[in-house]
Structure 1
Amino acid sequence: MNSLRIGKFKGFTTFDLKIIGIILMFIDHIHQMFVPMGAPNWLDWFGRPVATLFFFVSVVGFSHTRSKEKYMLRLYIGMVLMALGSFFIQMIVGYEEVQLMNNIFRDLTVGTLMMYGIDKISEGRLNKNVGKIVAGIAMILFPILSSVILLSFMSNPDTVMAAVWGANFIPSLVFTENNFMVLLIPLMYLARNSRWLQCALIALVAAFFFTQGSTQWMMLFAVIPILLFNGEKGRGMKNFFYYFYPLHIWLLYLVSAYIAMH
C-alpha cells in the first residue's frame, strides 16, 4: 500500500482504505453468492465494516473533489447502470436462489445529495441567500420524500411496477442497500473536522445494532482504519472501484449460477 514504509507505518491513505474495503467486501459477497452451496455464515462478518468505510471515504472524497457536481453524477450513473445491469443479468440467467440487491452506488448517491444540500445551506447562511438555504433543505429532504412517494406507489398493485422501476432512477433513502444507516454520511460530513466525533457516531449506530441482535454492530471495527487514516489521497485509480464493484458481484453471481445449474 502507498502509505506503508518498511519499518515505519505512516497510516492509511484514502486508497488504502478503499483496498481494505474491497477485500472485506469480496469475502462478504462470496458468502452472499454461495449461501445455496453452504457458504459459512461467519464470512458475512467480514462485510459488516465495509459500508461504514466507504461512507467515510465518500465524505473525504466529497470534501476534497474539484467538482462536487461531477462527483455526484458519477455515482448516480453508477447507481443506474448497476441497477439495470443486475436486472438484466438476473432476467437472462434465471437463477432465483440468489438475488442481486447490491448497489452501494445508491447509498453513496443519496449521501452525496445530502452533503451537497448541507453545502448549499452553509453557502446560503454565509451569503444570506434564502434561495440557497431552501434549495439545500430540499436536497436533504428529497431522498426521504421520494421514499414516501415510491412506497405509496408500491402499496397500490396498479402502480407497484412503476415504483420498482422508479427506484432504479430516483435516489431514495429506504431503497438504499443500508437503509437509514446511510444518514451516517451527512452526519460524518457535518463532523468532518473531528475524527473522534465521526467515530463516536459510528459507535452509536453500532451500539443500536448490537441491541437489536444484528451482526451489523461489527461495523464498529471500521473505526480502527478510520482512526489510522493519515489524510492523504495515496495512489490514483479513482475509477477502479466503479468497475470492480459491479463486475465482481456479477461474476460471482454467474459462477454461483453455473455451479447450481450443473
Structure 2
Amino acid sequence: MKTNYKGITGTQLKLIGVFLMVLDHIHQMFYYAGAPMILTMLGRLVLPIFLFMLAEGFHYTRNKHKYLARLFIAHVIMMIMTQIITKAFPLDTVVLMNGIFGTMFLGALTMFAYDKFRERRYLLGTGILVLPLVPAAVGMLLSNSHPMLAANIMIDIPNYLAVEGGFISVFLALGLYIFREKRAIQYFLIALVALISTNFQFNSTLLTENVQWMMVFSIIPISFYNGQKGKGLKYFFYIFYPAHIYILYILSYLYTNYFM
C-alpha cells in the first residue's frame, strides 16, 4: 500500500473510532434515560474502523503469535471482569455483553490461517480455521445437559457462532486483510456487509432500529488513512475499551438505583 504524509495516521483513525465508540456505549448504557439514537448510529462506524486497523496491525506486527495472545488474554480477562461487574452491580435495564476482543482475536486468527495457506501449509491453515468451531460444538452438545456450562463455554471462548458482530464481522476482517493493498475492494466489502445487515428489509426501521447498515459510512474516515502508523498508544485500546464500558455501566447502575 502506498503511503504519504497527508490524511490521517493509524493512531488518529483509531482515536476517531474510540470517540465514536464512547458515543455508542453512552447510548447502550443510557438508552432508557433518553440517550438519542444518533449516538448509536455514529457508533456503527466503529467496528469496520477497528477491523481495518486490525488488518493493518496484524500485517505489520513483528510477532503474530504475541499479537494473537494479547487479544485472547484481553478477551478472557474482560469476560471474567464482566461477570464480576454484573454480579456486583446487577442492572435489569442494560445487558453487559460487550466483547470486541473476541471478534478481533478470531479476525486475527483467520488472518494467521490465510498466511499459512499462502505458505502452502494447507493442513495447518485448515486446522487454525476449524479451531474456533470446537468450543461452539462443545457448547451445543452440552446445551441440554449442562446449559450454564454450555453458555459459559460459548461466551468465554471465542467462536464463530457467539462473537460480537457475528461471524460475518470475522470474515470482514479477513477480507480487509486479504485485500489490504486494494482499498476499493475493501470499501466494497464494507458496503456489502452493510447491505447484508439490512436483512434486505428496506423500510423505516433502517432509521429507527436496524441501523447497523450505517457502518458503510466508516469508508469516509478510512479513506483518509495515509498508511502511516502514527504515535504510540500501543496498549491504550486494551485498557480504555473495557475501562470506559465498566465506568459507564456502573454510572448507569447508580443512575437507575439512586436517581430514577
Fold shared per TM-score above 0.5 = yes
Equivalent residue, structure 2, for 1:3: none
- TM-score normalised per structure 2: 0.90
Deviates more, 1:250-259 or 1:222-231: 222-231
- Is 1:206 matched with 2:189? no
Runs of 4+ residues deviating >4 angstroms: none
Instruction: Pick from 81, 101, 107 the counterpart of residue 103 of structure 2.
Output: 107
Question: Which letter does structure 1 place at the counterpart of 2:8?
Answer: F
- Is 1:163 matched with 2:150? yes
What aligned pairs does 1:91-240 form with structure 2 within 5 A after superposition? 91-123=87-119, 125=120, 132-154=121-143, 156=144, 158-182=145-169, 183-210=171-198, 211-212=200-201, 213=206, 214-240=210-236
Q: Which ranges of structure 1 fall in alignment gaps of 5 or more residues?
A: 1-8, 126-131
Counterpart Cα distance in 2 of 1:96 and 1:201: 37
Counterpart Cα distance in 1 of 2:149 and 2:71: 23
How far is the alpha carbon of 1:22 from its aligned partner? Answer: 0.4
Q: Which ranges of structure 2 fall in alignment gaps of 5 or more residues?
A: none
Deviates more, 1:145-154 or 1:16-25: 145-154
How far is the alpha carbon of 1:180 from its aligned partner? Answer: 2.2
Question: Which letter does structure 2 place at the counterpart of 1:143?
Answer: P
Counterpart Cα distance in 1 of 2:218 and 2:182: 16
How far is the alpha carbon of 1:168 from its aligned partner? Answer: 4.3
- TM-score normalised per structure 1: 0.89
* Cα displacement string for residues 45-86 of structure 1 (whole angstroms, at most 9, x for unaligned residues): 011110111000000000000000000000001100111101
- Is 1:241 matched with 2:230? no
Contact 1:144 1:173 (C-alpha < 8 Å) held by counterparts = yes
Counterpart Cα distance in 2 of 1:148 and 1:187: 25
Matched pairs, number = 245
Question: Which letter does structure 1 place at the counterpart of 2:122?
Answer: I
Counterpart Cα distance in 1 of 2:142 and 2:123: 27
Question: Which letter does structure 1 place at the counterpart of 2:152?
Answer: W
Contact 1:84 1:168 (C-alpha < 8 Å) held by counterparts = no
Change (3 A) 1:119 1:235: same
Counterpart Cα distance in 1 of 2:87 and 2:147: 18
Deviates more, 1:251-260 or 1:183-192: 183-192
Counterpart Cα distance in 2 of 1:202 and 1:147: 26
Equivalent residue, structure 2, for 1:255: 251
1:94 aligns to what SS in structure 2?
coil
Counterpart Cα distance in 1 of 2:255 and 2:48: 32
Contact 2:155 2:163 (C-alpha < 8 Å) held by counterparts = no
Counterpart Cα distance in 1 of 2:142 and 2:173: 27
- Is 1:68 matched with 2:64? yes
Structure 1 or 2: more helix by fraction: 1
Counterpart Cα distance in 2 of 1:229 and 1:80: 31
Question: Which letter does structure 2 place at the counterpart of 1:61?
Answer: G
Question: Which letter does structure 1 place at the counterpart of 2:153?
Answer: G
Contact 2:82 2:96 (C-alpha < 8 Å) held by counterparts = yes
How far is the alpha carbon of 1:143 from its aligned partner? Answer: 2.2
How far is the alpha carbon of 1:145 from its aligned partner? Answer: 4.6
Higher relative contact order (CA closer than 8 Å, sequence separation 6+): 2
Identity %: 40
Contact 2:29 2:248 (C-alpha < 8 Å) held by counterparts = yes
- Is 1:53 matched with 2:41? no
Contact 2:136 2:159 (C-alpha < 8 Å) held by counterparts = yes
